[in-house]
Amino acid sequence: MKIPISYNIRNLIIRRTTTMMTALGIALTVAVLLSVFALVEGLRTSLTATGHPLHILVMRKGATAELNSSMTQEQFQTIKVKQGIAGLPNGEPMASLELVTVIILESPDNPSGINISLRGLTTTGFAMREYVRIAEGRMFQPGRRELVVGKGLAKRYPKARLGSKLDFGRGEWDIVGVMDGGQSAANSEIFCDLAQLASDQNRESGLSSVLIRATDRASMQALMNNLVDDQRLNMDAVSEKSYYEAQTSSAAPIQFLGIFVAIIMAIGSSFAAMNTMYAAVARRSAEIGTLRVLGFSRTGILISFMIESLLLCLLGGIIGCLLVLPLNNFTTGIGSFITFSEFTFNFRITPGIMLMGMTFALVMGILGGLFPASSAARKEILTALREI
């Protein structure tokens, strides 16, 4: 004979103070875990959303990022006439010579400043990034000290907002626009005119990389092989999407630390749930004896107490999910050891992450309820009734 679930719900309500304290401990554990996964998911989404499936990034052999790559105008002229490169409506090849460097941007939270990626490019380079649009202000004009900043930077840093000025290199630069890169890494960057930045940095002959677009997927790999095999260039070629996806490793230390902390907290929460259930068993010895007299089996009592533990942890899981929901779309940043600059992105709390949190809470319920439930099921009828 099965014990009705209403019996378990009534017992949790009667012990409401103990129930809420235990559920809160479980909720905090779930919230920590979900916060870490939401951060990692936000960074992963930002990086995997960056780039075009037909884009190829060309960098110097051995370079791990555009920042430590080098490219000359002569090499660019050789690259842009390769077969398999798509063309612009005006007949020019879709090839963008770019210069990537970092500048220090001060913030209220970090007066010493944060490294931010600054990308010099031409109008061709901007046009190739169809996922980027000007959300406020206007596009920078070639030949001028003008900047367009990503919306993530404009949101986080007061000095990176429309109408402000940034002082670096040989003088001040005007912020004339804010760009919306969707969920891409462009929200973490600042764009400006390539020629003006190269002149300002004395790097007319030492640029960073070339972004090209293949005509189709069939010719993309052949084009990449051609670029790598060309001894005149000494270049590597990778798909732009692969380049950015590889940078999700930046979140690995945080993910490891967060999961480690969550596991430690989960052990503590499981013991809290276990103590709660042991206390319930001790207080309800008479009830257990009565249930046995009424014909309920040991297995039925075991299942009943396990259900009660799961309901307790399920409540904690729901509270944990509610606690972490305000973080959804919260803008934050993380430093990258690859680009030596900060990525700006939003926390992303997906249904899959919420389901993971609820599953985690139920696992704690199983671990915390198994031994007390077994103890309740093993109680002898006479022993339990003597405790009335």
| 153 and 223 both lie in a single domain | yes
d(CA 97, CA 212): 9
pLDDT by residue for the chain (388 residues), tens only, comes to: 567 778 778 878 888 888 888 888 888 888 888 888 888 888 888 888 888 999 999 999 989 889 999 999 999 999 999 999 999 888 889 999 999 999 988 776 666 778 899 999 999 999 999 999 999 999 999 999 999 999 999 988 888 999 999 998 888 999 999 999 988 889 999 999 999 999 998 888 889 999 999 999 988 999 999 999 999 899 999 999 988 888 776 667 766 777 787 778 777 777 777 777 677 666 666 666 666 666 667 777 778 878 888 888 899 999 999 999 999 988 888 777 667 777 788 889 999 999 998 998 888 888 777 777 777 667 665 554 555 5
Kindly state whether residue 89 falls inside one of the protein's structural domains: yes
225 and 260 inside one domain? no
Instruction: Count Cα neighbours of 68 within 13 Å in the Cβ-side half-sphere.
Output: 10
Domain identity same for 98 and 197: yes
The one-letter code for the residue type at 99 is L
291 in a structural domain? yes
How far apart CA 377 and CA 113 sit, in angstroms, is 62
User: Does 149 fall in a domain?
Assistant: yes
User: In this structure, are 190 and 255 located in the same domain?
Assistant: no
Of 233, 264, 282, the residue that ends a domain is 233
d(Cα 185, Cα 101) in Å, to the nearest integer? 15
Positions of E strands within 222-347: 235-239, 331-335, 342-346
The answer to whether position 243 is within a domain reads: no
> Which pTM value belongs to this model?
0.79
Please give the single-letter amino acid code of residue 259: I
pLDDT of residue 383: 57
Same domain flag for 89 and 22: no
Total tally of structural domains belonging to the chain:
2
Q: Residue 247 has what pLDDT?
A: 79
**Is the domain of 214 the same as that of 73?**
yes
CA distance linking residue 130 with residue 54, whole number of Å: 12
Domain containing residue 310: 5-47+249-386
- What three-state secondary structure class fits 128? helix
CA distance 308 to 310: 5
- The C-alpha atoms of residue 254 and residue 36 are separated, in whole angstroms, by 7
Which residue, 209, 233, 257, sits at the end of a domain? 233
C-alpha span between 352 and 345 (Å, rounded): 19
* Sequence-ordered alpha helix ranges (H) in 89-239: 123-128, 151-156, 194-200, 217-229
Residue 282 and residue 336 in one domain? yes
Query: What does the alpha-carbon distance between residue 220 and residue 232 come to, in Å, rounded to a whole number?
Result: 20
